[in-house]
Amino acid sequence: MSTETMSIQAFIDALPKVELHVHLVGSASVPTVLELARRHPGGPVPVDERELRAFYEFRDFPHFAEVYESVSGLVRTPEDVGTLVFGVARDLAAQNVRYVELTITPFTHQRAGMPMPAITEALDHAVREARDRLGIRVAYIFDIPGEFGAEGARGTVEHALSHPPEALVGFGIGGIEQVRPPHRDAFRDAFAAARAAGLRSLPHAGEMTGPETIWEAIEGLGAERIGHGTSCLDDPRLVAHLRDTRLPLEVCPTSNVCTGQVASLREHPLPRMLEEGLFVTLNSDDPPMFGTTLTGEYRVAAEVFGLDRAGLAALARNAVNASSLDGPGREAILGDIDALL
């Protein structure tokens, strides 16, 4: 079947993809959560599949927070961490995702009593298992939980420097952006240390706050890519800077609507970001909890934002080029995208 006769849905399914913005706990699908719930029964998460599916259907942001906290409570051992990673890899591989940079918040696992070396061993094992059994490459971004301030920054960078997984490529920060200013110096110090060790600076910024957070990510944290960044359009000088420097933005449309940062998909700023010539990538963030997938985000781009095959392929290429893949890895996926067109 040629691309001319292929439906847009079939084209999206066949499109080789790269995922750059997806969180470990937030990506736990029903089968993975069911496995963990049966491993650790007696908590708030149902062990019956039908009840779990009802519990796991995203309804609103408070429900998302409840589900996220409940799933986090199931991650008690390094084996659980590995189960989550493999589950995410399995779900992405089924969508023709070739490579993922998976955001891990190791400080939360440390607080649960897991030793750093054991966490790292589980992460390394999961990468090998995903590659050998699923054919998908998994890399990691270590993420500071912003709400934990300096303590979270120190714990995260210590893990990244003293016990890094083999596939660790980046260093980030997430959580509620409004809590960051009092801890600015601690976050800057952590990012400086991570960058000095060769890790890429990949912070979240401009999702819950305005352009000032994006500027701080660029100037204070040395950002090489921005998670979300949707508020950049409020600052013409920032838009010009992002356009001129080709700094990639990890845009997650369904997530922005579900968390109330954008009123609806039709009002999402992604089309305007493209019109402004910004370097946009498409991502899923916490897909099962937001009722989406990476494939689903590409369908939104086609059905809601009106992108054609060339536009969708351009987004897929952007993700490859913004990734931490080596040269041969990039060329292989870019070649497959071109072959599909």
- Positions annotated as catalytic residues are 207
φ and ψ at 144, to 5 degrees?
A: -75, 130
Q: How much is the average pLDDT of 43-50?
A: 92
Annotate the chain with three-state secondary structure.
CCCCCCCHHHHHHHCCEEEEEEECHHHCCHHHHHHHHHHCCCCCCCCCHHHHHHHHCCCCHHHHHHHHHHHHCCCCCHHHHHHHHHHHHHHHHCCCEEEEEEEECHHHHHHCCCCHHHHHHHHHHHHHHHHHHHCCEEEEEEEEEHHHHHHHHHHHHHHHHHCCCCCEEEEEEECCHHHCHHHHHHHHHHHHHHHHCCCEECCEECCCCCHHHHHHHHHCCCCCCEEECHHHHHCHHHHHHHHHHCCCEEECHHHHHHCCCCCCHHHCCHHHHHHCCCCEEECCECCCCCCCCHHHHHHHHHHCCCCCHHHHHHHHHHHHHHCCCCHHHHHHHHHHHHHHC
Is residue 328 within 8 Å of 293, Cβ to Cβ? no
Question: For residue 69, what pLDDT is reported?
Answer: 84
Q: What is the pLDDT of residues 103-151, one digit of tens each?
A: 999 999 999 999 999 999 999 999 999 999 999 999 999 999 999 999 9
Lowest mean pLDDT, pick from 46-50, 65-69, 154-158, 243-247: 65-69
**Residues 202 and 170 sit within 8 Å (Cβ to Cβ):** yes
Residue range 212-225, pLDDT digits in tens: 999 999 999 999 99
Q: Which residue has the tokens 């301030």?
A: 149
Question: Which residue has 């952590």 as its token pair?
Answer: 190
| Amino acid of residue 72 | S
Q: Which two tokens stand for residue 130?
A: 């995903």
At 134 the pLDDT is 98
278-291, pLDDT tens digit by residue?
999 999 999 998 98
- Residue 133 has a pLDDT of 98
pLDDT(2) > 60: no
Confidence of residue 319 (pLDDT cuts 50, 70, 90): very high
- Band (pLDDT 50/70/90 cuts) for residue 57 is confident
Q: What are the beta bridge partners of residue 280?
A: 249
CATH superfamily name and code, 8-340: Metal-dependent hydrolases (3.20.20.140)
Tens of pLDDT along 65-90? 788 888 888 999 999 999 999 999 99
